[in-house]
Amino acid sequence: MSYTISMDLIKSLYSKYQSSIGTLKSMWESYCKRVIEIASRWELEKILFLEKLVDLTLSRELLEEEYKVLTTKRELGLVTEEEYSKRVDELTDAMRKVKEEIESVVSMIREVDEAIKFHMHTVYALYVFRREDIEKMLRTLDEMRSAGKVREDTYNIVKKDLETILKLSRE
């Protein structure tokens, strides 16, 4: 007894796999495009996170300075122990909250950076940033700085990152 597989079955299976492979290709291209879009947008919007860190760091420094001034005033007898103790408690609480916010923002940046890096490594072998896209991001960054939307230190960090990506895209 011999079993014969029909050519119609083979053609049907082949057609099914061709369709599935076409779907995978389309999904992969869409995935690659989205990864690049999200990574590009993150590089620009990360500026807001970095500026928040600068603001929080400044707040922490101001609170620390106020604590030093208050301590000096207490030593000179310009504030009572009760006033000093009450204000130190307030300052300590405020510094704790600022520290927690700093840690939270740093954690957010790290988490998004790592996730994007993972996805970029996944697609990087097959998709390289288009030079025009990076140059457009650099122009947008320059416009943001000119409009006062970006601090100089933040601008320099992001510009360096974009220039590194631009360099990698040429290699």
Lowest mean per-residue pLDDT among 54-63, 72-81, 158-167:
158-167
Averaged pLDDT, 17-43: 91
Distant-in-sequence, close-in-space partners of 158: CB < 8 Å, separation ≥ 6: 43, 44, 46, 47, 50, 141, 150
Q: Is residue 4 part of a domain?
A: no
Q: What is the pLDDT of residue 166?
A: 73
Does residue 107 sit in the same domain as residue 135?
no
Are 122 and 132 in the same domain?
no
Residue 1 lies in a domain: no
Residue 160 lies in a domain: yes
Q: Is the domain of 134 the same as that of 67?
A: no
At 128, is the pLDDT very low, low, confident or very high (cuts 50, 70, 90)?
A: low
Indicate the pLDDT class of residue 170, thresholds 50, 70 and 90.
low
Give the structural domain span for 142: 128-171
Do residues 51 and 107 share a domain? yes
**Entry pTM:** 0.64
pLDDT confidence of residue 108:
98
Question: What is the pLDDT, as a whole number, of residue 1?
Answer: 53
Residue 155 · residue 145 · CB < 8 Å:
yes
Residues 29 and 97 in one domain: yes
Percent of the chain scoring above 90 in pLDDT: 68
Taking a C-beta distance cutoff of 8 angstroms, is the pair 152, 145 a contact? yes
Q: Identify the band that residue 2 occupies on the pLDDT scale cut at 50, 70 and 90.
A: low
Output 121 or 135, whichever has higher pLDDT. Answer: 135
Q: What is the tally of structural domains in the chain?
A: 2
pLDDT for the residue numbered 125: 46
The pLDDT assigned to 121 comes to: 77
Q: Is the pLDDT of residue 119 over 80?
A: yes
pLDDT-derived band at 67 (thresholds 50, 70, 90) equals: very high
Helix (H) or strand (E) holding 99: helix 81-124
Across the range 12-34, mean pLDDT stands at: 92
Same domain for 53 and 13: yes
